[in-house]
Chains A and B, each alone.
Chain A
Amino acid sequence: MEETLNLLRRRLSALEPASIGRREGEVFGLGLTALDDALGGGLARASLHEILPATQADAGAAAGFAAGLALRAMAAAGSGQDMVWVRQTHAERETGRLHAPGLAAFGLDPARLILVGVRDVVEVLRAGVEAARCAGLGAVIIEPWGSHRALDLTATRRLGLAAEKSGVTVFLLRPGAFEEAGAALTRWRVSACPSTPLAANAPGHPAFDVTLLRHRAGPAGLGWRLEWDHEQHRFRQAAPLSGAVVSVPARRPAAARRPLARTG
C-alpha cells in the first residue's frame, strides 16, 4: 500500500510541469543590476517570453529589444550559438525586411541567424514550434503579425513546453497585437524612447521604454528606461530625460536667413 502510494507520488511529480521558480544558472540577466534584482536574478532561459510594441510605430524598438534579449540569452547559455527568426513575408510591407548590416551594427552577427519566411500566422506558429524543439539553437524569435485566433493559450503553452524541453529561449514578438491571454513567462511592453544625444545633437544609442506587464514568477508592473550597449551586448540605464519637452535647435536663427523648401 505504502509502496503503491509512493510510486503514485513519484509518477505525479514526474508528470507535473517543471517549476517556474529560480534554478541555478538557468536565468540570464539583462545587464542592469537594478532590473535583474527586480526580476529575481534575471529572466528564465528555456522558456517563452512575450514582447509587445506599445504602438504600430514602435515595432522597430520592439524588434531591437527582442534581439538584445536573444543575444543576452545566448551569451548566458554558452551552448547554442545559432538563432532562428520566423517572420511573415507579407508583413514586410508594414515593418520592412530585416537588414543584415543593421543587425551586425546592433551587435547580432547575421552569420548566426537563420531566417524563416512563411505565409500566415498558423505557419509561423508551426515553424516556431519546430524551431523551439531543436536543442542545437540558442534562441528563437517568432514574429506573427497582429492578433489571430490561432495565438491562444494552447499555442503559447505548447511553445513554452517545447522551450523547456529543449533548452531554447523563445521570444514571441507581436507587432500590431493587443494584450491577450497567453502562457508566456513574462510579458513586456516596449516603446521607443528618446536617446541620449551625442555631439551636435545626433541621435544616440538605442533607448527603450519597457514595462513588465506580467511575470508569472514575481512582481509585475514595473517600468525601466534602458539603453543598449552594442559593444558589450548588455542593457544599461538610460540617462534621465531633461525637463524641457522640446529642445530648441541652437542653429535656428530668429529670422530665417536661409530659404526653407518643402519637397516631396
Chain B
Amino acid sequence: MGNALRLAAPGREALALGISPGLTLADARARIPDLQVVEMDPAADQRLLERLADFCDRYTPMVALDPPHGLVLDISGCAHLFDGEVGLRNSLLARLESAGIETRATVAGTPQAARALARFADIDIVPCGSEAHAVDGLPVAALDIDRESVVALTRAGLKTVGDLAMRPRSALAARFGSALTARLARLLGEEDTRISPRRPLPACMVERRFAEPVTWVEEALEALSGEVGRLLETRGEGGRAFEAAFFRTDGKVLRLGLETGRPTRDAKSLMRLFRERLDSLADPLDAGFGFDLIRLSAMRTEAFAPAQASLDGRQAEEEEVAELVDRLGARFGVEAVTRFVPVDTHVPERAAYMVPAADLPRAAHGWQKPDPDGPATRPIHLFDPPQPIEALAEVPDGPPLRFRWRRVLHEIARAEGPERIAPEWWRHDRCDGLTRDYYRLEDAAGRRFWVFREGLFTEETTPRWFMHGVFA
C-alpha cells in the first residue's frame, strides 16, 4: 500500500504488544525487532474462506461469503435440526475451533445486524425483535459504509448507531444519502434482506447423518434415492438434475452431479445413473477419514406427467432410448451423447450442429429427403477443417484431372461440378472465406471425393484446392 510495506493482520500477541493494522513494516520492526512477518496471500485466504463456506454447507444450503474473512449463513428453518439456534451456534463454533480457526458468531434477525454484532460486539444470540436494542452501542463503522461518511458522521457528533437511530431519517437521508438510511433500517431490524447464496438452492433435498463416519456410500445413496423419489412424488414432480454431496469429517465436500433427459423420480434408475457416475470417476471417491453426512438434492424439477401409452406403442421404446441416453451421459459426460439439428444454410460445415441428446426431448426433423433423380450430392464424412490438396485442373473452372492427397496420387475418372457455394455475405460476423466451387470426383479405383476450389482465378490470386469430404 502506498510506497511502504504495511501490516495487514497482526496476530493476537502482536496486537497485545501495540502493533496495530496499517502500521508500516519499518515501524513495526523498530518496535519489535524479532517480529515474524508473512507475506499476505489474498488468493489463499479466499480459498480458505470458500472451504469454510463449503464446510458450513452442512448446516444450511444458504451460505454467502462476506470477504475478507466472514461468512453469512441463513439458518431460518434449519435451526430445529441442530437443537435450536444455540445448539447450531455451539456446534459450528466447536468444529471450527477444533480445526484451529478462531471464530466469533452471532445469530440475529437480519444479516446486517448479525454481521455488525459479530464484528464489533460479543453477543451470542439476539432475541427476535430486539436488534435495535442490541446494536445501540455499536460504533458507526458497523454500518459498513465508506470511511469518508464515517468521518463525516463522527464530526457531526453521531458516534454510535443509537445516536443515529434517534435522529429523523429524512434529515439523515438529505445530509448523508439514502444508502445510509437503508443500511440503518436493516441494522435495526426494521427491514430485512436475503443473502445471495454461493451455490444454487436445490428444489428439495434429503440427507443422512452418520454418528460413525462411513466410507461406503452406495447403501446410503440407495436409501436417499428412495426418499427423494417419494418426496418428488408427493409434490407431483420429477427431477431433471440431481446432486449428491458427501461431507467429509475434515470439512471437505465432494459433489457428484447428474442430469437426465426426462424428469424422473424412479429410485432404481437414479441409483443406476449414480453407479455409472461413480464408475466413471478417474479416482474413486476419497473419503479421507470418512463421510459423516451424505445429502441428495434435486436441483431442478419439472412437472411429472405419467406416461401415456401412445397409439403406435412407441412410448416404451422412446423411454428405453431416453434411459440409455441418460446412462451414457452419466458415464461419458452429457456432451458425449449428441443428436443432429439441421440449420438452414448453404455452408456445408454449418448445415448441422450437434446438441446433447438429453437436452433434445424430440429428435429434430427437417432434413432434406434423398434426391430421386441422382446420387447423393453431399458426402457422409466431412473433414473439419478441410484438408489442402494439390490438384491439376483446367482453367478457369474445370474439375481436377488428378490430385495428390495424403501423399497419394489419385487419377480422376469421373467428375461432376462445379457447384458454387458462396460465403454468406449477409452475416457480418461470419463473412469468412472465399467463394467455393465444389466438385464430386471419382478416381480410377472407385473412391468418391468432395473437393472444392477456394477462390477464383484472377490476375493476382491463384486459388487453392481442398478435400472436404468423402462419399460412400
A residues neighboring B (CB under 8 Å): 57-61, 63-65, 67-68, 79-82, 84, 92, 95-107, 109-118, 123, 126-127, 130-131, 134-137, 191-195, 197-198, 200-209, 228, 230-231, 245-247, 258-264
Contacts and interface: CB of A to CB of B under 8 A. Distances in A.
Contacts of B200: none
Interface string B76-116: 00000000000000000000000000000000000000000
Interface string B368-401: 1111101111111111100011111111001001
29 contacts: A60-B379, A61-B472, A63-B472, A95-B381, A101-B378, A102-B382, A104-B367, A106-B472, A110-B352, A111-B339, A111-B367, A112-B363, A114-B321, A123-B332, A127-B328, A130-B324, A130-B327, A131-B324, A137-B320, A191-B446, A192-B445, A194-B445, A195-B414, A201-B415, A204-B375, A206-B448, A230-B375, A263-B453, A264-B391
Contact of A246 (B379, B444, B453, B463): B444
B197 interface: no
B365 interface: yes
Contacts of A99: 348, 351-352, 378-382, 469
A261 B455 CA distance: 14
Contacts of B3: none
B466 to A, nearest CB: 9
A263 B399 CA distance: 12
Contacts of A79: 317
A168 B321 CA distance: 12
Contact of A113 (B339, B395, B447): B339
A106 B321 CA distance: 24
A195 B448 CA distance: 9
A109 B352 CA distance: 13
B447 A101 contact: no
Interface of B: 314, 316-321, 323-325, 327-328, 331-332, 336-340, 342, 348, 351-352, 354, 357, 363-365, 367-372, 374-384, 388-395, 398, 401, 403, 408, 411, 413-416, 440-442, 444-448, 453, 457, 462-465, 469-472
Contacts of B336: 116-118
Nearest to A115: B338
Contacts of B382: 96-99, 102
Contacts of A194: 413-414, 442, 444-446
A110 B353 CA distance: 11
A263 B403 CA distance: 10
Given A96-B382, A100-B367, A263-B393, A198 B374 contact: yes
A206 B443 CA distance: 13
A203 B372 CA distance: 15
A96 B383 contact: yes
Contacts of A67: 380, 472
Contacts of B370: 104-107, 230-231
A256 to B, nearest CB: 9
A109 B448 contact: no
Contacts of A57: 408, 445, 447
Nearest to B342: A100
A63 B368 CA distance: 20
A193 B324 CA distance: 37
A63 B442 contact: no
User: Chain B interface mostly helix, strand, loop or mixed?
Assistant: mixed
Given A105-B376, A201-B415, A98 B395 contact: no
B447 A114 contact: no
A263 B465 contact: yes
Nearest to B388: A264
B317 A60 contact: no
Contacts of B375: 195, 198, 203-206, 230
Identify which of B367, B370, B380, B408 gathers the most chain A CB atoms within 10 Å of its CB. B380
Contacts of B352: 99-101, 110
A95 B445 CA distance: 18
A206 B465 contact: no
A96 B411 contact: no
Contacts of B390: 262-264
A50 B77 CA distance: 61
Nearest to A194: B446
Nearest to B371: A105
A114 B336 CA distance: 10
Contacts of A195: 375, 414, 442, 446, 448
Identify which of B316, B408, B442, B444 gathers the most chain A CB atoms within 10 Å of its CB. B442
A65 B380 CA distance: 11
Nearest to B321: A136
Contacts of A126: 331
Nearest to A209: B446
Nearest to A109: B367
Contacts of A264: 388-391, 403, 464-465
Contacts of A113: 339-340
A96 B470 contact: yes
Contacts of A98: 380-382
Contacts of A134: 320-321, 323-324
A102 B469 contact: yes
Contact of A111 (B363, B389, B462, B464): B363
A264 B471 CA distance: 22
Contacts of A231: 370, 372
A136 B324 contact: yes
A68 B472 CA distance: 10
Nearest to B317: A136
Contact of A258 (B327, B354, B394): B394
A121 B371 CA distance: 36
Contact of A106 (B380, B416, B465): B380
B325 A114 contact: yes
| A-B complex: 7 closest residue pairs judged by Cβ atoms | A64-B472, A136-B320, A105-B376, A60-B470, A202-B416, A100-B352, A136-B317
